[in-house]
Amino acid sequence: MKQDFKIQGLSKLGKFLHHFLEKPTEDYSQDEAELFALMKRSEVENPWFTQENQRFCFKNWADILKEENIKNWLANYKISHHSKRVGLILAGNIPLVGFHDVICVMLSNHIPIIKLSSKDKLILPFLLNKWGEFSEWNLEYQMVEKLTEFDAVIATGSNNTARYLEYYFKDSLSIIRKNRTSVAVIKGDETNEELQLLAEDIFRYFGLGCRNVTRLFIPKDFELSRLFENFIHFKDIINHHKYANNYDYNRAIYLLNRELFWDNNFVMLKEDEALFSPLSVLNFSRYESIEQVKSFLDENETNIQCIVAKAELEITNSIHFGEAQNPSLDTYADNVDTMKFLEVI
């Protein structure tokens, strides 16, 4: 019974976000006006969280938080009859990046003990409060500054932070996430529309997410100009002062070091084997056979979050162009099934 109320409340939260995005500001209800004010505060406190990117995030959640989607997802798992306290150390690189973990814990019949990121501390508490109201049930969760009492932990951080977390939680059941990034493999016959979708995978959230593409594999004879032509609708990204600072800095370094790069005044393409690229830079390499690419992807699997490629390349677990920033409920960070972990704690 309690689970049904939670599911119904979560789907109503999705509808609330949908209506919020559809309405003009002058027609906002009191709750919608409060959310809008929190969005503006979030952007002031963290300039990476622009109104556009927050709204993009809300739309994704509005699209997937439908009752049928939630029930179909949960049908694959056993829901615990004994509630445990699950500590959540949330990241703050993109808006609401930790919301999926909270949902997983809550719908597994456990109690999330949430340590918010200082970069993303306003919207999630609001959404949890609304979820509780819509559920007509007292949702059990706790916001803390430090995790002290817990039965298991799910923590997200950088590679450096992860080493500390692994030591600190060495005696606890845990999922400790590290840095990952995403890649795209270009076959060579992509349409302009597909390359424009690829731009979404690269530039959405300024490239700050683990699902953002930072490395391209392109055929030997592929013209780089095709990329620049189809990235142009993201040209205004350079008007964001923090992104522009990164662009100016990296460009200056490359010029001083006399490194070869291609530039269109808002992003640089650099021929480099590295998976991770600096903000405002996109690494690429040219390949002669797709088997070379597949071998590289296999060797670097632990550092790759998702692979964007055409289906006919037959790359395992690849997704279509434009899908990187639209994960579904059964898409898990680091490809570790959070719900399976929560079944056995």
Would residue 6 count as lying in a domain? Answer: yes
Residue 330 included in any domain:
no
pLDDT tens digits for 253-288?
A: 999 999 999 999 999 999 999 999 999 999 999 999
For 144-185, write each residue's pLDDT tens digit.
999 999 999 999 988 888 889 999 999 999 999 999 999 999
SS3 280: coil
Residues 70, 53 share a domain: yes
Of the chain, the percentage scoring pLDDT greater than 90 comes to 96
Reported as a single tens digit per residue, the pLDDT across 134-150 is 998 889 999 999 999 99
Query: What pLDDT band is residue 80 in, cutting at 50, 70 and 90?
Result: confident
Distance CA 79, CA 92 (A): 28
Full domain range(s) for residue 102 = 2-179
CATH number of the domain encompassing residue 273: 3.40.309.10
State how many domains the chain has: 2
Q: Which amino acid is at 19?
A: H
Judgement on whether residues 157 and 244 belong to the same structural domain of the protein: no
- Distance separating alpha carbons of residues 176 and 285, to the nearest angstrom: 31
C-alpha 198/C-alpha 194 separation (Å) is: 6
